[in-house]
Structure 1
Amino acid sequence: MLNRHVSIFIGGTLISLGLNLFLTPHRLLDGGVIGLALILRYLWGVKTGLAIILLSLPIFSAVWLFDRRMLLNSFYGMLVSSLLIDVLSPLQGTVQSPVLFGALFGGLLVGTGVGLMLRFGTSTGGTDLLAQLIADRFHWNAGILIFVIDAAIIGSGSFILEAVQLFHTFLVISAVGLSTSLCLRKEPESA
C-alpha cells in the first residue's frame, strides 16, 4: 500500500513527465493552475513550476479558512510537483511524438498523477485543491469538477493557441479528467 509521501512523489513525477515530455513540446495546455502556468511559460518564458507556486498561493489562502489539514497536505504536494516540473524540464524535446499521441499520453500521465495524489488526500494545489474541497463538501466527483474548471481556463487561454492546438488541448483535459476519475473510482465492496 502506498503512503502519502510516496504517492506525492510518484504523482508529481507523472505530472512532470506528462508536461515536459508531451504537452510543452507541442505547446498544449492543461487546465487549472497548471494551464495558467503554461500560458505564462508560452507568453513570457516563466518557469512552469514557479508559476504554479505563485498562482496557487491565493487559493491556499482561501482554503486555509475551510480545511487546514487538506491545505497542508496539498501545499506539500504542490511544492513537490512544482519542483519536479522545473527539475525535469531539461527533458523537454527528448521524446518525439505526434501531437495526437502527445495530447493523449501527456493527459493520461498528468491525470493519473493528479488522481493518485487526490486518492491519498493531497493534490497539486490550485484548482485541484479547490475541486477537492468542493467535492468533499458536496460529495461530487473531483475529476469531473477538475474537467469543468479546466475547460473554462482553456477557453480563456485559447487566444494563444492555434485551432489545431486548441483541439488537442481539449483532448488533453479529456484524458486528464478520465484518468483522474478512474483513479478516484471506488472499488466495489466484496461480500
Structure 2
Amino acid sequence: MLKKFIIIGFGSTLIGIGINGFILPLHLINGGIFGVSLLLNYIFEFKPGLTFIFLNLPIYLLAYKYDRLYFFNGLLGAIISGFTIELLIPLKGMIHLPMLSSVLLGALIIGSGVALMLRNHISPGGLDLLALLVSKWSKLNVGIIIFIFDTLIIFSGMLLLHDPKLLYSLLIVSIVGLLTSLLTSFRNIYVFVNMK
C-alpha cells in the first residue's frame, strides 16, 4: 500500500504540474476527463480538480461492477489527482514559455505521470480508468484507446469554444498517448522477456 500511495502521489504531482503550469494558462485542454474538466473551467469557471472527481463517478460505478481492483485503484488515483490539481493551481501563470515549448513540456510531464500510474495498474481516473477496462476486454494497448478518446474530446472542445488555438491540444494528447503507450508497452515487454 505504501508503494501504491507513493506512485499515486508522484504521478498526480506530475499531472498537476503539467496541467497548472503549462496547459491551463494557455487555455488548452488535455484529453480524457481532465480535458472535460478544463473545458468546464473555461466555460463556467468550475474548479477543474473537483469537477474531475465528480465527473468520474459514473466510471467508478462501471469499474466497481466489472473489476473491483480497478475500481479501488481508480478511486484512489482520481481523488488524489483531483485534489493535487487544486493544490497546485498557484502554479498557473508562474511559468512563461513560448506556446510550443509549453505544450511539449506540459505534455511530457502529464504523460509521464499518467504512464507511471498505468504501468502499475493504477488509473489516475476518468477515461484512463475506462481505457484500462476496455484494454483488458479488447487486448488493445491502453495508450491507443486513450488517444482515441482524447481526440474526440479535443474536437468537441474546438466546436464548443471556436478557438483554433485548441489544435495545439491535439499535440498534447498525441504526446501523452504516445508516451503512455511506449511506457506501458515497455513494461509488458519486460515482463514477457522475464517469463521466458
TM class, shorter-chain normalised? over 0.9
1:46 aligns with 2:46: yes
The higher-RCO structure (CA 8 Å, 6+ apart) is 1
Query: Residue in 2 aligned with 1:162?
Result: 163
Structure 1 segment 55-134 matched on structure 2, within 5 A: 55-134=55-134
TM-score by length of 1: 0.94
Quote the offset at 1:161 in angstroms: 4.7
The size of the alignment, in residue pairs, is: 189
Identity %: 39
Structure 1 pair 43/4, CA: closer, same or farther in 2 (3 Å)? same
1:127-163 Cα distance to aligned partner (Å, 9 max, x none): 1000001111222110110000000111111121521
Structure 2's unaligned 5+ residue stretches are none
The farther-off stretch of 9-18 and 103-112 is 103-112
- In structure 2, what is the Cα distance between the partners aligned to 1:161 and 1:30? 16
User: What is the letter of the counterpart of residue 50 of structure 1?
Assistant: L
1:11 aligns with 2:11: yes
- In structure 2, what is the Cα distance between the partners aligned to 1:143 and 1:17? 21
Q: CA RMSD in A?
A: 1.4
- In structure 2, what is the Cα distance between the partners aligned to 1:67 and 1:123? 13
Structure whose residues are more often helix by fraction: 2
3-state SS of paired residue (1:95): coil
Structure 1 segment 173-188 matched on structure 2, within 5 A: 173-186=173-186, 187-188=189-190
- In structure 2, what is the Cα distance between the partners aligned to 1:162 and 1:153? 14
1:60-109 Cα distance to aligned partner (Å, 9 max, x none): 11221100111001100111111100001011011001111111111111
Structure 1's unaligned 5+ residue stretches are none
Structure 1 pair 161/93, CA: closer, same or farther in 2 (3 Å)? farther
- In structure 2, what is the Cα distance between the partners aligned to 1:127 and 1:167? 21
Contact 2:157 2:166 in 1 (8 A): no
